[in-house]
Chain A
Amino acid sequence: MDRTLPTPTPETAHFWEGCKAGELRLQRCAACAETYFPPRPFCPACGSRQVEVFRASGKAILWSYVINHRPRPDMGTAPYSIAVVALDEGPRMMTNIVGCPQTPEALRLDMPLEVTFETFGDMALPLFKPTKA
């Protein structure tokens, strides 16, 4: 079964184009400097429409997660993490943690992570893996 994929909108296209280009793109307000996610063409903190897209560091820490023991059909048959990471730039986002066992012992809150992009069809999803010490 094919992976469930996002349908980009005009307001979010830069983010998904960035994933395909291997870049994690966030937005920042030119008026109040707020960095925010998910994408929108104005600042949710102050309402300014003067916002810019920039390439984020891709660094994050593991903020919280569950390990789904009843996998969704498009996600395979093994338990997998559904995680929220806190990006170095401030915003949080949902993702999967890859490159390590999907166990509570391997998935420690606050562990450092870095973004990695996995291609599915004509889309790429931002996933995160433990940072090599």
Chain B
Amino acid sequence: MKPGSIAVVGAAETTRMGRIPDVSVIGLHADAALNTLADAGLTAKDIDGLATAGENPTSLAHYLGIVPTWVDGTSVGGCSFMLHVRHAAAAINEGYCTTVLITHGESGRSRVGGGGRFGGGGGASLGGQFEAPFGPIGPPTLFTIPVLRYLKTYGLSQEDLAWVAVIQREWAAMNPRASYREPMTLDDVMNSEMIAYPFRKLMCCLVTDGGGALILTSAKRARDFPRKPVYVLGTGESVETPMVSQMADFTSSRAFRVSAKKAFDECGVRHSDVDHLMIYDAFAHLPLYGLEDLGFCKPGEAAAFIRERNTAPGGKLPLNTNGGGLSYMHSGMYGMYALQESVRQLRGIAPAQVSGARISVSQGIGGMFGAAGTIIFGNEQP
């Protein structure tokens, strides 16, 4: 902490206290937030950082109409808000955001509208009320919902989704640790079991077991370690909505756009500098959205970019070189494996090594287009 570099400029509590049976948990967060914004003379549009505990920050950002470039959902009990202040100070000093809102709301006595806690899904959460009754059963029926609109907007077809899976299998074939390595044709994908039209089984990620971990330290200290250091050059993050039905644009992820722009702006890396790219592929449409929303392709052009083998072995922008969630592995929160592959590529030890890779971008997604995180790595210190 740089002493005195950060200040509190707004503070308020909920309008009422004690017994509030007519306001739910997220409503208490929102009431406290609106009172605090008024205290500071701000609106939600002025807020670009959000920290909260006991409520999913994605839900609250969407509820309040905040477009954050930094969120913190650290939830370690009653002291969470002290940790939020500390994390917010670092975030503001680092330039991740300028103005942070930290909220609390809890219906401790009346117990109204709980269940929206991390992961959500309770019947009283917004997703529980306005999505769950209509029969979704997990990501294959939610993550996939925007795609028909995307395909229609750009005159694309199911085959454009299938090509994503086919080309990633080529990468997986080079990776002894990949779950699926056998060659796969377009027909194989198009004839696989229908899961949720227009998605067939081979357009959906695996379900496997596994894990990963990272250790970070300062660049100065990094030279003392046995492995070649991989430097963090740029970072970004954002959230949009906990409900895929409320995503503003079904052809593009706002969270992807905001997160990636922040990461590229932070380090000045140009798209043409990028040697290697990972885009979290829980389903075959995500690399299409990712290539466009990160700025590697113009809207509607990612499918042709992939089909024309730009992301395939030998192409100019190697993508998901471990085989991706579609062929390598997917334990549930795949972002860790995207980071691991970026690190391997920049250490020069990947099974399908991209020759001379110096800059790698790892793009993650959370929820159903709910959240995004971008890390730009380099193996040379700028």
Contact = CB atoms under 8 A, between A and B. Distances in A.
Interface of A: 3-12, 16, 37-38, 40-42, 44-47, 49, 63-72, 74-75, 79-80, 82-84, 92-96, 104, 109, 125
Interface string B131-158: 1111111001110111111001000000
Contacts of B146: 64, 84
Contact of B130 (A38, A68, A69, A96): A38
B250 A63 contact: yes
A66 B196 contact: yes
A12 B128 CA distance: 12
B33 to A, nearest CB: 9
Contacts, number: 148
B197 interface: yes
- The list of the 6 closest CB pairs from A to B, nearest first, reads A7-B123, A6-B129, A44-B65, A67-B197, A94-B245, A9-B24
B141 A64 contact: no
Interface residues of B, number: 52
A64 B135 CA distance: 15
Contacts of B194: 69
Contacts of B152: 109
6 contacts: A37-B130, A40-B63, A42-B34, A44-B64, A64-B145, A66-B147
B22 interface: yes
Nearest to B147: A64
A6 B145 contact: no
Contact of A10 (B27, B123, B135, B145): B27
A49 B37 CA distance: 13
B123 A5 contact: yes
Interface of B: 21-24, 27, 30, 34, 37, 43-44, 62-65, 112-113, 115, 122-124, 126, 128-137, 140-142, 144-149, 152, 193-199, 243, 245-246, 250
B126 A38 contact: yes
Nearest to A13: B22
Contacts of A74: 135
A72 B137 contact: yes
A49 B130 contact: no
Contacts of B112: 9-10
B195 A125 contact: no
A73 to B, nearest CB: 9
A11 B24 CA distance: 7
B161 to A, nearest CB: 12
B288 to A, nearest CB: 15
B43 A47 contact: yes
Nearest to A95: B134
Nearest to B20: A10
Nearest to B130: A38
A47 B133 contact: no
A92 B249 CA distance: 11
Nearest to B137: A72
A67 B194 CA distance: 9
A82 B134 contact: yes
